[in-house]
Amino acid sequence: MANNTANTGLKVALGIALALFLITGIYTSSLYKEKVSNEKQLTEEKSAVMNDLDTMMAKYEVALSESTVTNQNLVDAKARIQGLIDSLKTSDTNVKSLWKYKKKYLALQDEMDVLLTENDKLKVENMQLATNLDSTNVRYEESRLFNDSLLVQNTALAEIVESAAVLTTAGLKGYGVIERSNGKLIPTERARRIDKIRVCYTVAKNKLVQAGDKALYIQVLDPKNNILGANKQVRFGEQTLNYSVISKFNYENGNLDICEFVANATDDKFEKGRYQVFVFNANELVSSSDFTLK
């Protein structure tokens, strides 16, 4: 009877122990599966945070590449993200650390939204400034071209005025005269009878020429190209001019009739043939004419 009781107790104990072992095994297996599942989930969440940080980094890089001027706020924010990525790569994968990185990521996300919004605003302002600058440059270039054109026109006008502001003559005529003792002059073409050659011309009206004392140089050549009269020389820069007589007068911007006399420098009579008369304004030839003595 005692043996039966003992056997029964042993069987009960073994049954309880077996039940406990089974329960423990099942519980341990359940914990292991939960651990594996948790680790897998944490790894996936860590990877998701890493991807989010990489995406954030890429946005900053795009923003910096589009900026013509370095935005130090974007540079600093990008550096903080890179630091967080490096730290996350080497960190333990657990709930506490992962939550810490998530909080930092969310803070950086809020910061990025503000910084990128400000950067977009700055880009718009810079584009507007660039447009205004381009417009200003265009107006400046147009103004410069206009001023250059005006300068060219003024220079050309000044040259025209300068070239036009000179004395001119008309009606140049030379002829021989007999001079009576009473001062009367008798024109003649007879070379042997001539006492002097008279040269007459009209200084033309020119409002561009300043009024005042003026001088023109008359040159008379005989048939042998000898210069009659004073035959003196005057220099204008590097050029020289031999003249027969200087015609001096006071010019008042109106037509002015002038006559000069040219004598033969020798006691010889005037020769027959063609005589040439030239009028010079300084070293510039103004007019010319010729006549013949018989």
Q: Is position 156 within any domain? A: no
121 and 176 housed in the same domain: no
181 and 73 housed in the same domain: no
Q: Looking at residue 289, what DSSP letter applies?
A: E
178 and 98 housed in the same domain: no
Residue in this structure with the two tokens 């200084």, named with its chain if needed: 203
16 and 88 housed in the same domain: yes
175 and 243 housed in the same domain: yes
Q: Give me the domain span that covers residue 113.
A: 2-125
Other beta carbons within 10 angstroms of residue 236's beta carbon come to 12
83-133 residue pLDDT tens: 777 776 776 666 566 667 667 777 777 777 777 777 777 777 777 776 777
The last residue of one of the domains, among 72, 95, 125, is 125
200 and 273 housed in the same domain: yes
Which pLDDT band, with edges at 50, 70 and 90, does 242 fall under?
very high
CATH number of the domain enclosing 194: 2.60.40
The last residue of one of the domains, among 125, 160, 179, is 125
Q: Is position 130 within any domain? A: no
Q: Is position 33 within any domain? A: yes
Element (H, E) at 259: strand 256-262
Q: What percent of the chain has pLDDT over 90?
A: 31
174 and 108 housed in the same domain: no
118 and 178 housed in the same domain: no
Alpha-carbon torsion (280, 281, 286, 291), positive or negative: negative
- By the 8 A CB rule, do 98 and 106 touch? no
The last residue of one of the domains, among 72, 98, 125, is 125
Q: Which residue has the higher pLDDT, 33 or 195?
A: 195
Question: What domain count does the chain have?
Answer: 2
Q: Is position 136 within any domain? A: no
87 and 180 housed in the same domain: no
38-52 residue pLDDT tens: 566 667 777 777 787
173 and 95 housed in the same domain: no
Q: Is position 155 within any domain? A: no
Whole-model pTM: value is 0.49
**Residue 212: CA atoms inside 13 Å, Cβ hemisphere, count?**
4
